[in-house]
Structure 1
Amino acid sequence: MIDPLNSWNSPPKDLKLESNEIHVWRVFLAQTVSCLQSLQQTLSTDERTKAERFYFQKDRSQSIVSRGALRAILSRYLDLDPSTLRFGYNPYGKPSLIAEQGGDTLRFNLSHSHGLALIAITKNRNIGIDLESIRTDFPCQQIAESFFSPLENAVLRSLPLHLQHKAFFTCWTRKEAYIKAVGKGLSIPLDRFDVTLAPGEPAALLNFQENPQEVSRWSLFELIPGSELVATLALEGSRCQLLCWQWQYSSLANP
């Protein structure tokens, strides 16, 4: 059982990842110039090129910090220089470490929104995470009708208007975290499976039309990373211990 009222603590110096643990790191994407420059030096050519494609400097900086922090965090578990890490991608675009650097064992997933990133890490099982900012100007019912299942739409419409936006983004993160964990992207239609979304209802995969056995294979957990933000962790299996860490530049990277 995972308590959604997460406490985001500083990691210990002798950080270890046990086989039954999930570590979720919270990263604030607004960082100092010195941090930004240091992290940029660890990025691959492709990662730097991707960051440079953003029109606004804020978006370029956040791309650098999210990828740089990911490298810094993974390097701590692997005892490798962050700049030496190499990533591969499956046919649907899900990233992983190459096998020679522990990709067969160490699994991770990343999501970012509204100046914040969450990075989930575990061993020997698939994992997905999604983070969204609750936007009250978003056409929730219109989008839900296109992407949510009939059951989810019925639940959403039954809620008072002031609860619908949070319920929509809660549902969205649960569906996104699941398909990210599976690693097949939007080749899995979002309206072909049901998740919980009502206020106070534990995160769960309720039904998968093509493969009902998926319900017992996966666990969903609610995370609370900050005010007006919702997040979901999807994990293959069920028995686990969640530890939430607050990333600090000085804790994982040399200034």
Structure 2
Amino acid sequence: MWLKAPTDITDIKLLPNEVHIWRENLENVKPSLEYFTQILSEDELGRAKRFHFEQHRQRFIAGRGILRSILGRYLNIEPSKIRFDYEPRGKPFLDRNYHRNLGFNLSHSQNFALYAVTLNDSIGVDLECFNSTTDVVSLAQRFFLPSEFAAIKSAPQEQQQQLFFRYWTCKEAYLKATGTGLKDLQKVEISLTPEQPARLNVPGEWKLIEIKPFLNCAAAIAISSRDLQLKYWDFGS
């Protein structure tokens, strides 16, 4: 499913009915950290410096450097020349004064990063790695709808982690696509089972896709269009 990314940017075509999904293990790009630092903007470097731990600083630099490198392929410009703007809740988008319409979103969890690129603006992606120390039942009771909490609580213990993070990534992907904050987690209803894919129960023509880009992780993409084809790329291959 995951394809080796071509080195020639002209070989990557993004059609109106496509979503391109990119993945990377940030440990693999440590040799490129110096280059990524050089292509980040001043405000991105300022954000990186605010991280207390060096590991988190490096993850941010790598994540944004990869984002610029990916978008530069589609825009056919140097990654350092890309200009971002931000929605009120922090979702980045391309500055329309400088770039053509191109929608994207990104998510990081631990050492992993996931990106989605499309010609549709309303897209959100979320990636979460499983954490055995997380009290998922308590979190579900606090943030999810009663039916969702009941589904997690009644599931066998070995399935609770996976179910919780499937719910979480599906909800957050939609909230990121709409630019809404996590305060609205309980307003987004998701239907899923251990055997069946998730379904987004909200008004409008929304498509929800669950994927497994890495072991022991859950991920979801939400986009405001149903008739789409997905392509999957490995950034560093």
- TM-score range relative to shorter protein: over 0.9
RMSD of aligned alpha carbons = 1.5
Give % identity: 41
1:202 and 1:34, CA in 2 relative to 1: closer, same or farther beyond 3 A? Answer: closer
| Contact 1:42-1:68 at 8 Å conserved across structures | yes
Which one-letter code corresponds to 2:229 in the other structure?
Q
* Aligned-residue offset at 1:156: 1.3
What is the rounded CA distance, in whole Å, between the counterparts of 1:57 and 1:87 in structure 2? 24
Matched, 1:233 2:216: no
Count of matched residue positions in the alignment of Structure 1 and Structure 2:
234
Partner of 1:243: 231
So what's the TM-score if we normalise by structure 2?
0.94
What is the rounded CA distance, in whole Å, between the counterparts of 2:205 and 2:233 in structure 1? 26
SS in structure 2 at match of 1:71: helix
What is the rounded CA distance, in whole Å, between the counterparts of 2:154 and 2:53 in structure 1? 40
Partner of 1:10: 4
SS in structure 2 at match of 1:83: helix
Corresponding residue to 2:198 among 176, 189, 203: 203
Partner of 2:21: 24
Q: After the TM superposition, which segments of 4 or more aligned residues of structure 1 sit over 3 Å from their partners?
A: 31-34
| Contact 1:156-1:198 at 8 Å conserved across structures | no
| Contact 2:30-2:62 at 8 Å conserved across structures | no
Which one-letter code corresponds to 1:164 in the other structure?
Q
What 5-or-longer segments of structure 1 have no aligned partner? 1-6, 209-213
Partner of 1:194: 189
Which one-letter code corresponds to 1:194 in the other structure?
E
Corresponding residue to 1:96 among 90, 93, 96: 93
Deviations 1:13-32 (A, max 9, x none): 31110000000100221145
* Aligned-residue offset at 1:8: 1.6
* Aligned-residue offset at 1:75: 0.6
Matched, 1:166 2:162: yes
Partner of 2:32: 35
So what's the TM-score if we normalise by structure 1?
0.87
Which one-letter code corresponds to 1:167 in the other structure?
L
* Aligned-residue offset at 1:101: 3.2
